[in-house]
Amino acid sequence: MSMQGLLPEGHYAQCENGYRMHYLDEGEGEVVVFLHGSGPGASGHSNFKGNYPALVAAGYRCIVPDHIGYGFSDKPDDVDHPLSFFVECIRQTLAVAGVERCTLVGNSLGGAVAFGLALEHPALVEKLILMAPGGLSELAEYQAMPGMQKVFQVFGSGEAVTPAVMKDLFATGLMYDPKFATDELVAERMQIMQIMNGHVMKTMQVPVLVDRLPEIDCPVLGFWGMDERMMPESGILAMAKNLQHMRLILVSECGHWVMVEHEDMFNRACLDFLENG
């Protein structure tokens, strides 16, 4: 693994569908796959740099892909981005990496992709770890959330996104404590912003999956920050009432990124779940 600017560069999967996907692949053992969320300058490492190394140290093989349209993965501007496209790209990436069975860790968009993989490829998914996943509410409910409104305001203005604008978006839209909107985080995201074309965010389509959640038969660990400004709280009950084998952790003083704001607790809870279900 080498560095490209501020971010590590790992492996590339030439997928069956013709797209090239970037992913980090660290450690040995049972496989845990980290699926990042959407947003400006998003990448797998930037979302999970405080988490996957702890699991590698505990004896797991951690794969951290960049979704299609994000990070160092391909960024097509001539196709739409329904959830099925994200699922297809991750499934084909894991096939190239030789993964036949894994636990999926998904935040926001990554949580919706994890749902999609569990529904369409149940033999692949041993367990799910979800942090405020997408796919649980109607679009109008998302649009009413203050953090989401800020995202639309920033990206609907047509103006260039500056580091100050991005830092404010993270501090006030995605986090409870603004101290986690560090200059390092902003710089990492700005690096990817320079190569993003915006098409992925404009054409992303995530359906409401609530009615299909009872089909998921694997154990699930869920996290939800009680100061969430991006995802409607209706998602809490949607998961709790429709997922069959679930442990749900509600976290106070926490926004959209529990894995960032409560890193140590999150890592401990994940390791306990991986070992004990």
User: Which residues are catalytically annotated?
Assistant: 256
Residue whose token pair is 């260039």: 160
- Alpha-carbon span 260 to 246, nearest angstrom: 22
Using a 10 angstrom Cβ sphere, with 0-12 exposed, 13-18 middle and 19 or more buried, the burial of residue 98 is exposed
23 in Cβ contact with 64 (< 8 Å): yes
81 in Cβ contact with 17 (< 8 Å): no
- Alpha-carbon span 107 to 98, nearest angstrom: 23
Q: Which residues contact 98 (CB under 8 A, 6 or more apart)?
A: none
List of E strands, the chain: 2-4, 7-9, 11-14, 20-26, 31-35, 61-65, 81-82, 102-107, 125-131, 204-205, 220-225, 246-251
